[in-house]
Structure 1
């Protein structure tokens, strides 16, 4: 008698579950995992409750003394969270990896608060990079902001090359906030836009503005001169507008800063004259990668909420999670989250390791990350159905925060155009033709 072997018996080997981390399909070192675990706990227990509480307040209430915003900032400071990238004892590839893992967790907690922490450390970080101990001491322990956009100079300030401006424009745009370099002093006048992150609360600012060194604001090609300068915001002549009421990232205070003959020494400049545009490009590169990291966390949070919900909600006699169409939609969301993380990590590595970084590349990465994160948040709302529109459920806030990121740090269509311009430059220069 012949015995038939059942190849589909319960004893047959089947694939087990893949290795995954909090950050998806990757393998972390023990050190990275420990860092992630600690920051995840902070994000879950401190950031999320604070972000939800601030989101419900008016903009002025959110920055008032004793508000949840200030409670959060005090807790973050006491927790030792920092954005130091100047530790020479740690290889840059390790610093890049650590920053990407860490900032993703902060973005998972609350995107607005993550940006506030990051930009809060930006002047100090740039002072460290410049090697100015005086400026490092000046920024020590102070909340910072980056002042680049102005009412009449938003995208204009992001044009690194004269050829980018419109053909009908005789020269560039110096904007509403400018500096005049007079001897050993820099004198600043004008106002920022209302979109300066941490503008209402910052104690020190990094200003990226047009400058006149004695021969006017424009060079022979009509391109504006500029200066990057660190300015204490308690100087005479500095004042603030009202905190901005806005759609998303309400946990991130934003508002105008005004300057009336504010004077700082030239030695407070990080880049100026012939070195301004390359300095500005380097600064912008560092800022751009953080947005991708933050939005990786937001997209992951959106996916997690959606997965949890479809395993609770029933339709047609079965869990939503058991419907094939829902599985397809979850697969698309998960695929996008992994794509966002990959792009954010690549942009981070490039910025930390490249001998000649370029912000138009990191800007292109920012577009990919924020556009896809918005798509993930939008699909999370859709899976929640009517509940997704209700403020009592978390995906409504994630959707608003994701929408803001497609304009924040450069409007996405404009940044895509800049990446296209860079692609053309590479071709014209023969860089891509080997």
Structure 2
């Protein structure tokens, strides 16, 4: 067979060098879980109310338990040497995103409290945020959305002010006292066991949003209440909801990063979260492409499978190249950030923005290939399109990331 006589089939993750035996096993294991558990469960949860999604006996809890049984713990991932960890994380989250975007995000957010505790070398916080406990990341507030990811104020208009924070941690002696509210967009907010809370801090000289605190909060602490789960157009399997703090008093041991470390802590979690989003939504884009590719071979118009029509073949080609580009960029960024002395936040932003935009474009093109069928719930593509649309807003809306990332490109030596 010559290269011109037939199409060579690429590997499970596209134009990749052949996997090592270990990577192949990881990919096959997670893909099986994504195919047999995440995708069918995600479709069921999509058609349930937000209250039903998180109720006892919901398929959500069984899916989460099966993920824990796969053994991808924070410690096991961090034990890998950095380059291998980068590759493993990309494989893991791309396959999860291929299965279901919302469930992939809930699993990723669930790890953040444990991951940051280990990264900061805090054994006490790590004991609070154990692997079996579902975590949530609380940073956005009712009056402060994506700007909460910019405590340095790089994106602010000169005439703008941050305004009063909605949540403040008061640090006094050996205690930290939390009052206020986090927004309805806290992933896993109404069901989490532990929270990694990013908020403004008052350590004796007034509230300072640029010198906040990161606190590992057990969600059964006295004074915590939760809002109702959010009803959304997409990623309906991802529980999100408000958290309220009323004189929640914890020992100072729960502080993962104090005011002097706050900017670094925001940078660290944002760089990691954006990179993971790149992998997740590369997987979502790939799922849309693969469904459209298969449908184009099955569906006939004019007596031929529609892939024989030039416009369909050309559309599929552009979908394929976008998925390949998103994967390559994400893997490059994650490898760099896991191996460099200091990770690059604006590089992570490129992965997030590129992959999420790709997911929306590819899902939209896939829906067009499905035609009228794509608009019905009988086919999964309309759900993937809705899930992808939500990704342009979460973890920092793409417009804000572009502004912040653009300012990061300023070279002071050239000014």
For the aligned pair, the TM-score class normalised by the smaller chain equals over 0.9
Aligned to 1:145: 136
SS at match of 1:289: helix
SS at match of 1:149: coil
CA contact (8 A) 2:190 2:229 kept: yes
Offset of 1:14 from its aligned partner? 4.8
Quick one: distance in 2 between partners of 1:374 and 1:63? 27
Offset of 1:34 from its aligned partner? 1.2
Aligned to 2:240: 254
Aligned to 1:362: 348
SS at match of 1:310: helix
Quick one: distance in 2 between partners of 1:311 and 1:182? 66
| Structure with larger RCO (C-alpha < 8 A, sep 6+) | 2
Offset of 1:336 from its aligned partner? 0.4
SS at match of 1:164: coil
Find 1:189's aligned residue among 149, 154, 179.
179
CA contact (8 A) 1:85 1:95 kept: no
CA contact (8 A) 2:155 2:403 kept: no
Aligned to 1:8: none
CA displacement, residues 348-370 of structure 1 (integer Å, 9 cap, x when unaligned): 11221121223233123211110
CA contact (8 A) 1:153 1:174 kept: no
**Mapping of residues 30-429 of structure 1, within 5 Å:** 30-84=21-75, 87-88=78-79, 90-140=80-130, 141-169=132-160, 171-218=161-208, 224-424=210-410, 427-429=411-413
Q: For residues 274 and 174 of structure 1, do their structure 2 counterparts lie closer, same or farther at Cα, with a shift above 3 Å needed? A: farther
CA contact (8 A) 1:228 1:270 kept: yes
Offset of 1:15 from its aligned partner? 5.5
CA displacement, residues 284-332 of structure 1 (integer Å, 9 cap, x when unaligned): 1111111010001111100010011111111122110111111100000
Quick one: distance in 1 between partners of 2:408 and 2:149? 13
CA displacement, residues 242-300 of structure 1 (integer Å, 9 cap, x when unaligned): 00000100111111111001011222122112221012211211111110100011111
SS at match of 1:231: strand
Using the TM superposition, name which of 49-58 and 172-181 deviates more.
172-181
Unaligned runs of 5+ in 2: none
Aligned to 1:3: none
Offset of 1:12 from its aligned partner? 8.1
CA contact (8 A) 2:282 2:358 kept: no
Quick one: distance in 1 between partners of 2:2 and 2:329? 39
CA contact (8 A) 2:113 2:136 kept: yes
TM-score (norm 1): 0.91
Q: For residues 231 and 127 of structure 1, do their structure 2 counterparts lie closer, same or farther at Cα, with a shift above 3 Å needed? A: same
Quick one: distance in 1 between partners of 2:144 and 2:3? 63
CA contact (8 A) 1:100 1:348 kept: yes
SS at match of 2:210: coil
Unaligned runs of 5+ in 1: 1-10
Offset of 1:166 from its aligned partner? 1.6
Quick one: distance in 1 between partners of 2:14 and 2:89? 17
Note the aligned Cα RMSD (angstroms): 1.8
CA contact (8 A) 2:360 2:388 kept: yes
Q: For residues 14 and 202 of structure 1, do their structure 2 counterparts lie closer, same or farther at Cα, with a shift above 3 Å needed? A: same
TM-score (norm 2): 0.95
Offset of 1:85 from its aligned partner? 6.6
